[in-house]
Amino acid sequence: MTSQQSQQHGTAVDTTPVIPLPLGTARVLTAAGAALTVLSTFLSWTWTDAFPGNLTVTGYPGGLQLLTLTGALLTLVHLLAAWGIRGLRMLDPAGGHGGTVWTAAGTFAATWYTLIAIAVQLGGLANLEPGGWVAGAAALLTLTGALALPLDRRATATGTARGRLAAVRDIMRTLHPGRTGRPLPPARPLPGWAEILLIAAAFGISLGVLTYGIGTRYGELFTGFLFLTGFCAAGLHQAGLTTRLAELTARHRNVTVAAAFVAAALFPLTQDTDEYTLIIVNILIFATVALGLNVVVGLAGLLDLGYVAFLGVGAYTAALVSGSTASTLHVRFPFWAAVLTGAAASLVFGVVIGAPTLRLRGDYLAIVTLGFGEIFRLAVGNLDGQSGPSVTNGPNGIPNIPDLELFGYNFGDKHSVGGIALSPFANYYLLMLLFTVIVVLVFSRAGNSRIGRAWIAIREDETAATAMGINAFRLKLLAFALGATLAGLAGTVQAHVAHTVVPEQYVFAGPVPPNSAFLLAAVILGGMGTITGPLLGAALLYLIPAKLQFLQDYQLLAFGAALILLMRFRPEGIIPNRRQQLEFHEDTAAKAEA
């Protein structure tokens, strides 16, 4: 037999290695390549410090060399764990070499991206020092050896050409849970305190990785970071570590929630300037609005293309009642009243817009909601006292929105709490983090309730749900109103963080999120109907344009290409809902059974 087939959930996975080499030779080749890659990072890769990160120093890795060093070390760790080395075996519960393959690919991608960037920016391959050539060859050697390793330890190391092509296809499919081979063996029982420490360590490492990524000082480093973290995350999944962590978090839900909140709250303490804290504040605003849209799209299945208008309603309402010198109402509500007013205004607009339109379905509903979004933008642009009543100052918007103040605590001032200095954006970050927690709790409770199950039934088949006695219109209107309220809640904070609101912030598609297109993409790319999916999707869609300035002119092109690739290879999203994942790959499972 030339390949090993394993079954899980009725799906066959071919574990034939891509490159036919004996198992021992493949392991030695991978280990030698990874070790040589580590050594190459201590050599100079270029002769000039004109390339960011100063890769001219011998004996001290810097910049993008650190990413290559990290990837090579992780490849060695995964290889030794899959090899069965005592003390490392627990790092490869899946019992194969999938983690090694993915981390080797990540090391190769980060290394070769660096070398290509050096050649392009400095004007040719002549700008590479011998260390760069060694790094490129070593990374290629590592990947070659890894591709000769079987994904299943029980698989043979040789195969036919047809089997090897199938293995390439299966490597691309390994990120789908339920398609990665046999189930994980039972985990070794650990004391409760040890499991809690592992959960805390996982969130601590995640905080460190996030802090490093957000704090990257130039676009080349951030791009290399994306390459490495993306492939390494796939390697952790393929090795079974994410499954093990999910089992631990399921057993200690309260500890997990507390650890996640503490790790998120510690983020401002890792920053010495407001530059990156402001980015993460905007990410939280974007993510909170995406979660509200997830109620409408992910749970109820209503395609809303004008959702950003509800964010604008909340922002404009808060700007009008928060004491801005440009406000036409000339009132100043306290913080809690401004928040409730903004959320209530968005709720009213959600009901007013939803009541006459939610009897439509599919494309017709999408067109109507798109029209509402454009009507809102044009309306606030014309309420300037000339084209219409004097309410919003028209295209000039409402500037000079004062900072929030709660119980005498001004969010625009620096404060010291328990000896810890908090900058203005750190204050807003903690406030927005609290709002995000509230929205997550609302979404979780709503999704798991009787109403949430009714929303899912409507999403799957509205006709069948109606036949079973579900009042589809009333429940769709409830979902629309809840989603609008959550968007308005985030809009009240956005207005105070930006200190101004203008109509151009609330368009269907534009270069700067949040807008309706990016919000919808965050939900779809992250994973509809989940909590972590839209959070991750919103973070990526906001962070990548913010860090990669050279993509500003090609942002929509890159965005479209990413959508096409993800919809082709992972239509259920990065963090999928289990039910939808099975639906998307129903045909593949049927073919495998046949």
Residue 291 in any domain: the answer is yes
Question: What is the token pair recorded at 8?
Answer: 């899980």
Q: What's residue 550's pLDDT?
A: 64
Q: Are residues 225 and 347 in the same domain?
A: no
Residue 12 in any domain: the answer is no
Torsions phi, psi for 406 (to 5 deg): -130, 115
Q: What's residue 69's pLDDT?
A: 95
Pairing of strands 409-410, 11-14: unpaired
CA dihedral 504, 290, 313, 428 (to 10 degrees): -90
Q: Are residues 224 and 199 in the same domain?
A: yes
Q: What is the amino acid identity at position 583?
A: E
* Separation in Å, CA 493 to CA 11, 164, 269, 403, 431: 47, 54, 21, 10, 8
Contact 318, 495 (CB under 8 A): yes
Q: Are residues 251 and 356 in the same domain?
A: no
Residue 366 in any domain: the answer is yes
| List of residues 6+ apart from 251 with CB closer than 8 A | 195
Total domains in the chain come to 2
- Residue 192's H or E segment, with its range, is helix 192-214
Contact 96, 65 (CB under 8 A): no
* Separation in Å, CA 483 to CA 91, 134, 135, 264, 421: 41, 54, 50, 24, 35
* Separation in Å, CA 33 to CA 38, 39, 102: 9, 10, 15
Contact 493, 435 (CB under 8 A): yes
Q: What's residue 17's pLDDT?
A: 63
From 507, 524, 539, give the residue that closes a domain.
539
Q: Are residues 212 and 325 in the same domain?
A: no
Residue 320 in any domain: the answer is yes
Q: Are residues 203 and 301 in the same domain?
A: no
- Residue 417's H or E segment, with its range, is strand 415-417
Q: What's residue 34's pLDDT?
A: 94
From 205, 224, 258, give the residue that closes a domain.
258
- Kindly list the averaged pLDDT for each block of 10 residues, start to end, along the chain of length 594: 39 54 86 94 91 88 92 92 78 81 94 93 89 94 89 46 44 44 67 88 90 85 91 88 86 87 84 78 88 87 86 90 81 86 91 84 84 88 79 84 79 73 82 88 86 87 86 88 90 87 82 77 83 85 77 68 78 72 55 46
Contact 452, 304 (CB under 8 A): no
Show the domain range for 522.
Answer: 274-377+404-539
Q: Are residues 412 and 459 in the same domain?
A: yes
Q: Are residues 248 and 351 in the same domain?
A: no
Question: What is the token pair recorded at 461?
Answer: 């088949």
Q: What's residue 592's pLDDT?
A: 44
Q: What's residue 594's pLDDT?
A: 47
Q: Which residues of 381-413 are buried (b: 16+ CB within 10 A; e: fewer)?
A: bbbbeeeeeebbbbeebbbebebbbeeeeebee
Residue 183 in any domain: the answer is no
Q: Are residues 287 and 246 in the same domain?
A: no
* Separation in Å, CA 159 to CA 24, 29, 396: 16, 19, 68
**Number of C-beta neighbours around residue 237 at 10 A:** 20
Q: Are residues 338 and 464 in the same domain?
A: yes
Q: Are residues 218 and 298 in the same domain?
A: no
Residue 408 in any domain: the answer is yes
Q: Are residues 110 and 205 in the same domain?
A: yes
Residue 250 in any domain: the answer is yes
Taking Cα atoms as reference points, which of 307, 354, 349, 299 lies closest to residue 477?
354
Residue 521 in any domain: the answer is yes
Q: Are residues 355 and 441 in the same domain?
A: yes
Pairing of strands 5-8, 11-14: antiparallel
- Residue 122's H or E segment, with its range, is helix 98-122
Q: What's residue 327's pLDDT?
A: 79
